Structure 1
């Protein structure tokens, strides 16, 4: 049992698991997180793929077409990054490298989340530009981007810092 003596009792400070058990647990947690992000990015990407085939697409100006192209490429990249951990795991399964696999898959998932953030922001910009030619579009997109950054990165990093630096 890991722990420290405090006030006559033992307080656990961590899990009592082998590196392999820890890798298994971390992999299970990671794959659940990836499932949520994969579903979102795949639905968004699928929708984006159909846009080019609508009659309205031909009416888009050059800027909106450029935003669309950037958005579709970002969506493709996000999809690849978020599906990547499954492929990595499948190709290295049974090779006794699960701890390293979990580390690389976690990094790839983080890249996928950043790409998903960029895809969603770009898609929002495109939709709001087409829906309204209001000058407030950039402010709305910036506000939503700030919200995504807060929910996806700032709050989790603050929580990690607050609870692991004591």
Structure 2
């Protein structure tokens, strides 16, 4: 239980920092992470977590998070979203491993699902700090690739 509280504190602090001081990609990632947190809590209220078989609710949540983060990585003018996309893809490997090996121990399945998520808050905090460093050094920091649909994003993500 303590590890969950520690993770939530790290996630909320990194997300708040990104929403306050980050550029568009940092704010977008914070929104993705906070959205995952809210949906995950709703899933736990409605559907009990199951690790003895494939957890389809978390498979769907992890798939959506991986797709959103991959889209962020393809449009952001930053390197770190590619790392975040890989970290968001790792839980999918847990689900597919569970499908392939039904004899997998439930603790191994749980660990594979959540371990990579511990790296996302420090990555987001470091990305936000780097954004602030670039702003101080040059006065600007391009957030999005020139070919991305930047004009269609809400102002908060530009």
Normalising to structure 2: TM-score of the pair? 0.40
Q: Which has the higher contact order (CA 8 A, sep 6+)?
A: 2
User: Which protein is bigger by CA-based radius of gyration?
Assistant: 1
Normalising to structure 1: TM-score of the pair? 0.39
